[in-house]
A and B are shown apart, each in its own frame.
Chain A
Amino acid sequence: DAGVIQSPRHEVTEMGQEVTLRCKPISGHDYLFWYRQTMMRGLELLIYFNNNVPIDDSGMPEDRFSAKMPNASFSTLKIQPSEPRDSAVYFCASSQSAPGSQETQYFGPGTRLLVL
């Protein structure tokens, strides 16, 4: 398996523009997670899905952020409109089992977002 695939790897955009980040989880993994990482705040969980259904979105910072998982092999994280403070590295991860088990999450390479 190619692991978790994210695109694009880098994104530079201007404030106010819409940004869409994409993720393909590992085949057979029922859980998908979106994280954001910054120097100031470290790693933060934004939202996670189980079988394409959002389970916990309490980490989504505000209404400008939305995430979808239309099928088991694809998810998007959208920011509209984007702001400079959204600049960060966004990671997608997937796992076979629920968070309460001793599951291993496999992370993608991340998307480095810069909002000017």
Chain B
Amino acid sequence: KNQVEQSPQSLIILEGKNCTLQCNYTVSPFSNLRWYKQDTGRGPVSLTIMTFSENTKSNGRYTATLDADTKQSSLHITASQLSDSASYICVVLQGTYKYIFGTGTRLKVLA
């Protein structure tokens, strides 16, 4: 079954700390994997997109990794800020047009 699983479901950290969110997928054929950030009450915003041949990609303080062999991805947030409080959604494209969505990780950054 084609699935995308994210962990943890929720996470609370202190401002300035680092954190890592996980995404495991069982999607075939794999085309690409993207991470979205979604603030409460707003639409998702793309953070990174990675294809099979890419194993790391950064966007400011956000760094995504991809291990196509183990079918795992992670999103690392460095020196967290209050504005990082949001839901983070992992999405895998199966084939040419089928998107498989994770249920997201809800991150709360405390002052």
Q: Report which A residues bind B (CB closer than 8 A).
A: 4, 42-45, 48, 55-56, 58, 91, 93, 98-100, 102-110
Contact = CB atoms under 8 A, between A and B. Distances in A.
A91 B91 CA distance: 16
Given A91-B43, A93-B43, A100 B31 contact: yes
Interface of B: 31-32, 42-46, 49, 51, 89, 91, 93, 96-99, 101-104
Contact of B97 (A43, A55, A93): A55
25 contacts: A42-B104, A43-B44, A43-B89, A43-B101, A45-B99, A45-B101, A56-B97, A58-B98, A91-B44, A98-B97, A99-B93, A99-B96, A99-B97, A99-B99, A100-B32, A100-B96, A102-B32, A102-B51, A103-B49, A105-B46, A106-B46, A107-B44, A107-B45, A109-B43, A110-B42
A44 B99 CA distance: 8
Contacts of A103: 49
Contacts of B104: 42-43
A99 B96 CA distance: 7
B101 A108 contact: no
Nearest to A104: B46
A107 B93 contact: no
B101 A44 contact: yes
A102 B104 CA distance: 21
A42 B91 CA distance: 11
B9 to A, nearest CB: 11
